[in-house]
Every structure is written in structure tokens, then in C-alpha cells.
Amino acid sequence: MSKPKVLIIGSGGVGTISALSLTHNNKSEVTLIVRSDYDLINTQGYSIDSCTYGKLTNFKPHNIARSVEDAVTRFGPFDYILLTTKNIPDGPITCEEIVEPALKTGKEVIILLQNGINIEQPMIEKFPHNLILSGVSLIGSTYYNGHVENKGIDHVFLGDFKNPPIHPESQSKIDEFISIYHNEGLNEIKQDLDVQKTRWEKLIYNSAFNTVTALVNLDVTRIQINNANEELILPAMKEVIAMPKVLVYNVMKP
């Protein structure tokens, strides 16, 4: 049997390590879209310093492409589309518009390995016949000029946006993607039956620390040694925790 084909859109710190995990497993054919740095990566590949995979030079997945259209023409169609870009609803192009050229069979599974709340709904409305899976990544990984610094182990929580799932192939596709992504002792990926809750949990951390450190122009260590945990971080986290309570109340009330 042929291997599942995975298209990764987003070649930053998260997307590149995802490509590495899938390529290392070698249970799928991986195509990574590299836009502005295509010539650089096509020539010399990635240099990667990873806490789990070690130091790698000249790394490339099975295929790289300049764009979604280029990827589809040369390497498609795809079974899985893994979106690891930023999700910015008011950007020049939406995530739905980015993904659309890759949808050729109507059977592609779209996995949103991105930050954000309720990011799945616009994708479901745009592509009602495709299975949309939600992924939450916990990783320390940054990309700059062909080099990836991966300091935190790759943990992925994968689940259906709807609970219980409504797509007939939801469970089988979750099982398959986990099997092609997981590398024993190197990364962790597991099914999450309440992935929206996990999204909020990650948001509690990101929204508090990212916002406060940017506002005061100090890193996490420096704000913590200056008593920011009690004065700034915890109050900010409590505000975020209050938000889903309000949303649930508004949904449940008559």
C-alpha cells in the first residue's frame, strides 16, 4: 500500500519539527511548503539543533515546494494537510484561502496545528465535506535563516472539534495520523477528547506571559524575580479563565 501523503503549510519552528517527526517515522510522504527561504533550503537544507533529534545538517523532508499550487502540481493530491502557520483572521489572506488550492479530492483531512480559539469553525463552514481536526502543540522551537533551535520536546494533542465527532472517519484518521507522526522517545502525540479545553489551557499561559513580557519589555525570568507572578501574571490568567465561563453561560442560558 502507498504511504499517506502529508502536506505541511508553514515552515517555521513548529512546521519544520513536524516535518522532521513525520520524515523520521517514514510512514508517510512529507511535502513542506517553504516560501521566502525556498532557494536557501533547496540548496542546503535545514540545520537543526534539537533536544530530542540532536544536531542535524542539510535536513529536508521528502519534498519541498514554493507554494500550495506548486506542491499540488508536483506531489499531490494529499491525504493530510497540516497547517502550522499563524492564524490571523484579519490578515491579507485567510487560512481557508491558503488551504483551498490543496483540496482536490474532497477527502483531505485538515489539521489545524495553530494557536487560537474557535479557529476550526470558519474552516468547517468553508469545507463542510472535509474532516477538520484540531491540534494543540506544546513545543519550544524557533526558526531563523535556515536554522531551527528546538529546546522543548514536541507534544501534540489531537482531536475532533466536535464532541462527539460527527464525521464518520474521524477516529480512523486520528489513529492513522498519530501512528505516522509518533516517534517513541522523541515526541508525544495523543488523542484529546476535549481539545477545546486544552486550547484554553494553553491560551491561559500564552496570553498572560506573552502580553505582560511585551508590555514591560522584560523576559519571563526577569519579570518573575520582580514579583510579577502575583502582581501581573496571575491576575491576567484569572481574566482569561473567566472568559470561557461567560461563553458557556451565554450558550446555555435560555
Q: Could you write out the DSSP letters of every residue in 33-100?
A: E--TTHHHHHHH-EEEEETTTEEEEEE--SEEESSHHHHHHHH---SEEEE-S---TTSSS-HHHHHG
Give 185: exposed, middle or buried? Use CB within 10 Å, 0-12, 13-18, 19+: exposed
CATH architecture of 5-193: 3-Layer(aba) Sandwich (3.40)
Q: What is the pLDDT of residue 251?
A: 43
Question: What is the per-residue pLDDT for 11?
Answer: 95
Average pLDDT over residues 237-252: 70
C-alpha to C-alpha distance for 147 and 163, rounded to whole angstroms:
39
Q: Which amino acid is at 166?
A: I
At 253, list the grid cell. Answer: 442560558
pLDDT at residue number 88: 75
Task: Output the pLDDT for position 93.
Answer: 87
Higher pLDDT, 86 or 6: 6
- And the C-alpha cell for 234? 496571575
Under 8 Å between Cβ of 85 and 132:
no
Mean pLDDT of 170-185: 97
Rounded CA-CA distance 189/82 in Å is 14
254 compared with 50, residue with greater pLDDT:
50
Residue 208 identity (one-letter amino acid): A
With a CB cutoff of 8 Å and minimum separation 6, the contacts of 193 are 159, 163
Using the predicted structure, report yes or no on whether residue 161 has a pLDDT greater than 90: no
> Where does the pLDDT of residue 61 fall: very low under 50, low under 70, confident under 90, or very high at 90 and above?
very high
The pLDDT of residue 104: 94
Confidence bin at 247 (pLDDT 50/70/90): low
What pLDDT does residue 252 have? 42
Among 16-25, 93-102, 160-169, 233-242, which stretch is predicted with the lowest mean pLDDT?
A: 160-169
**Is residue 253's pLDDT more than 50?**
no
Per-residue pLDDT band at 209 (split at 50, 70, 90)? confident
pLDDT score of 230:
86
d(CA 129, CA 125): 9
State the average pLDDT over residues 143-169.
Answer: 91
Name the grid cell of 69: 499550487
Domain boundaries, the chain: 5-193, 198-252
Average pLDDT of 103-128? 93
Least confident stretch, 10-24, 58-72, 197-211 = 197-211
